[in-house]
Amino acid sequence: MTWVGWRLQRTETLVAAVLLGTLAVFLVPQGFHMASAFASGNLNACTPARTPACGVAVSGFLDRFTFVRDVLDWLRVVPGMIGVVLAAPLVLELENGTYRLAWTQGITRRRVLAVKLAVAVATALLAAGAFSLLLTWCRAPLDHILGRMQSGTFDVEWIVPLAATLFAFGLAFAIGVATRRTGASLLVAFAVYVGCRILVDTELRPHYVTPVTRRFPLGSGPPALTRDLVVSEHLVDAAGHRFTVTPQIVGSCPGSRGAGPAGVASCLARHGAAYLQLVYQPAGRFWILQGIETALLGVLGLALVALAAVWLQRAS
């Protein structure tokens, strides 16, 4: 039965392998190139430092690999693609009705479906794991500088890609059971996956754990939070209420233009602004947030698979 499940997945598994191989051909040389440039520039000594020389060196490194960084940011959709593609054979069986033949071979429906789903899920997770290892290794020099909390990094490294792939797989399988249309199911599932990931990135992840709130007097120069996940950054008055900089306020302080940060801060202070308030998730919470998001997406994915399987058995 396991062999039957594997034969069902072999074409889509080959597609996933080709996708990962193509990525490896591009990313492995780039990863070695970035690692070499990072080491030769001694940028490891600059990650905690904020000296002008370090600023120039880091900026030069980031500018040098702008194209690679842009490509890596787009790869956050790959876990969804893997999950949807590896759900396709199961949905195609439903559309063609060939799954009924397997249910007449003296094996219980539950066992047939369980084996096929187990093989498909295992293949999807294996592909997602390979993708995660490749991206985690390739991005290592960038992570030393920029941290791992931004969406383009957080979504593709370590354990979250596995859960995201399982979630996409569950979406495609559940929609396929409901519609019995392969093409439409996969397209809708991928669109829903992308929408859900945007929702998670922008609305849920910043609030998995109560974020840190800090206030800095105007003109004091707050620390750079490039390695942290910044939720919000705004001015507040002495009472802690949000302060909005209006065009009227800007126009009333023409003398502050060209006076530098101190002049701008003085202008805003005269109108009631007192602090710059930063709300953020510290970089040290990376694994906490990874665990929460992995559990969230993983449970949703498994729930979709289980509900769709029960529905399929009862409806057929």
Residue pLDDT tens, the chain, 316 long: 454 445 556 677 788 889 999 999 999 999 999 999 999 888 888 876 677 888 888 888 999 999 999 999 999 999 999 999 999 888 888 776 555 555 555 566 677 777 888 889 999 999 999 999 999 999 999 999 888 998 889 999 999 999 999 999 999 999 998 888 888 889 999 999 999 999 999 999 999 999 999 888 876 666 777 789 999 888 887 777 887 777 676 666 655 455 555 667 777 777 777 788 899 999 999 999 999 999 999 999 999 999 998 888 776 5
Contact 116, 205 (CB under 8 A): no
pLDDT for res 195:
95
Q: Three-class SS of residue 301?
A: helix
CA 135 to chain CA centroid, nearest Å: 12
Rounded to whole angstroms, the Cα distance separating 5 from 304 reads: 20
Residue-level pLDDT at 229: 92
**In whole angstroms, what is the distance from residue 309 CA to residue 316 CA?**
11
How far apart, in whole angstroms, are the C-alpha atoms of residue 207 and residue 276? 20
CA gap 101, 97 in Å, rounded: 8
Question: What Cα–Cα distance (Å) separates residue 235 from each residue in 9, 275, 279?
Answer: 55, 6, 11
CB of 103 closer than 8 Å to CB of 112: yes
pTM: 0.87
Give the residue among 89, 75, 286, 228 at the shortest CA–CA distance from 164: 75
What one-character DSSP code corresponds to residue 200?
I
Neighbours of 239 (CB within 10 A): 7
Helices (H) and strands (E) in the chain, counts: 13, 4
> In whole angstroms, what is the distance from residue 168 CA to residue 205 CA?
18
